[in-house]
Amino acid sequence: MPTLYIITGPAGVGKSTVSREIARNKNKSTLVEGDDIYHQVIGGYTQAWKDGNHLETFWKVCTNIIKIYLEDEFDVVFNYIVTPKDLEYLRTTFKDYIVKFVVLIADEITLLARDSGRPIDSQMKERCIELLNNFKNKKYDSNNILDTSHLSIDETVRIIETEDRFILWE
């Protein structure tokens, strides 16, 4: 049975890098980058954190893409900002699949260092810390949180792939 990996965390924590590596390790996989899907909207585009956003449409598109891949026996790695409310929607939608949910975090120094390594136009600077604090204030199960402050990409991927604590249900 294919697995859906849901990777979330604040900007700059390494969601895309870790997600890409997990997908590369699989025989038949796809990477669904939430940011890429959200930014497909051109006319009527509104930032996700503002009123009038298109998050409802975004989630419909994402879940349909993910379903198609899972039905065709692909492991799917999806990364985006996933709130506990979003997780409940995903839990209902993908109840018949193995789902691993991981909240990546890092300490402030590590997060800012990683952010500084991104292209200038992608750097979030102090906003990374604000987003990190937002994640810390959400009610995620501690089993799903992975502090990557002192982990390499390979170590992070190995932990996600091998530890059952990230499985939401089987």
Bridge partner residues of 78 (DSSP): 6, 32
CA pair distance 76, 86, nearest whole angstrom: 17
Does domain 3-169 correspond to CATH entry 3.40.50.300?
yes
pLDDT tens sequence across 34-86: 999 999 999 998 888 889 989 899 999 999 999 999 999 999 999 999 999 99
- How far is residue 60 from each of residues 5, 54, 65, 74, 113, measured CA to CA in Å? 18, 10, 9, 19, 34
Q: Residue ranges of the domains in the chain?
A: 3-169
pLDDT tens sequence across 14-44: 999 999 999 999 999 999 999 999 999 999 9
CA pair distance 123, 103, nearest whole angstrom: 20
